[in-house]
Structures are given as structure tokens and as C-alpha cells.
């Protein structure tokens, strides 16, 4: 959560002060007020968040199913407890991959993870 919030805040700041590249230069919105520029910023960051959510889901799936297992799960000695944790990870990873466009912010992702952990029947 803090990683996304820090990135988002810093990106907003740099958008206002350092936007010199070809993607959204300051003059691309003409003499219009900043509303159009802000709309472009929010669309851009929403796309970045959706990509990050999908990537996180893919990485999570890879860490459970693929060859690159994660030690956090591997050190659980009880096979039933480990299987339960892996099921939570796979359930969340699947949700992130298939429904990444439904998340409007990082807090929604955290809520989804908590709901899965708490056994919400929607998942």
C-alpha cells in the first residue's frame, strides 16, 4: 500500500513539474485549463495500477505453481496449512489477473486479499 501511494504521490508531483517527454508534454493540452491534463494523468495511473495488479497476480501464481517457489510458503511444515495458504494465494492471484480492471485503487486490492483470507463466499 505504501509503495503504490508513494509512487502515485511522486508521479503526481512530477507530472506537474517535470512533464517534458513526448507522451504528455505540457503543451499537448493547448490553452485549456488543467482539467484535461488531470484526466489524462488519472487515466494513465489507472492503467499503470491495472498493469501492476495483473503482473502481481502472475507473479503470485508463478510462486505457487511454477518453479520459482517462494520461501514464505515453503517453510510451512504442515502440508495442510501450506495447502490452505497456497489456495489463498492462487485464489487472489486469479482474481487479480481476471478482474484487474475492477480495482479502483490499492485499498480495493487489500480488501480483496482480506476477504479471501477471511473466507468471503464471493471468492
Asked whether residue 79 carries a pLDDT value surpassing 70, the answer given is yes
> Could you tell me the CATH number of the domain that includes residue 27?
3.90.1200.10
pTM: 0.80
Residue 122 covered by a domain? no
Read off the pLDDT of residues 18-73 as tens digits, 9 standing for 90 and up: 777 666 666 665 555 677 778 888 999 999 999 999 999 999 999 999 887 888 88
Do residues 86 and 73 lie in contact, with contact meaning Cβ atoms separated by under 8 Å? yes
Q: In this structure, is residue 110 part of a structural domain?
A: yes
Is position 40 within any domain?
Answer: yes
For the segment 82-121, what is each residue's pLDDT rounded down to a tens digit?
Answer: 999 999 999 999 999 999 999 999 999 999 999 998 887 5
Asked if the structure places residue 103 within a domain, the reply is yes
Q: Which residues span the domain enclosing 9?
A: 2-117
Provide the domain count of the chain: 1
Q: Taking Cα atoms as reference points, which of 89, 95, 87, 97 lies closest to residue 55?
A: 97
Amino acid at each position: 500500500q505504501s509503495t503504490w501511494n508513494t509512487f502515485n504521490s511522486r508521479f503526481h508531483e512530477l507530472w506537474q513539474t517535470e512533464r517534458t517527454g513526448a507522451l504528455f508534454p505540457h503543451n499537448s493540452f493547448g490553452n485549456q485549463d488543467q482539467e484535461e491534463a488531470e484526466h489524462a494523468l488519472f487515466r494513465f495511473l489507472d492503467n499503470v495500477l491495472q498493469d501492476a495488479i495483473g503482473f502481481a497476480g502472475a507473479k503470485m501464481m508463478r510462486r505457487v505453481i511454477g518453479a520459482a517457489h517462494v520461501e514464505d510458503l515453503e517453510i510451512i511444515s504442515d502440508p495442510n496449512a501450506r495447502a490452505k495458504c497456497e489456495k489463498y494465494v492462487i485464489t487472489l492471484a486469479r482474481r487479480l489477473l481476471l478482474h484487474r480492471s475492477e480495482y479502483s485503487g490499492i485499498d480495493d486490492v487489500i480488501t480483496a486479499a482480506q476477504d479471501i483470507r477471511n473466507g468471503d463466499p464471493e471468492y
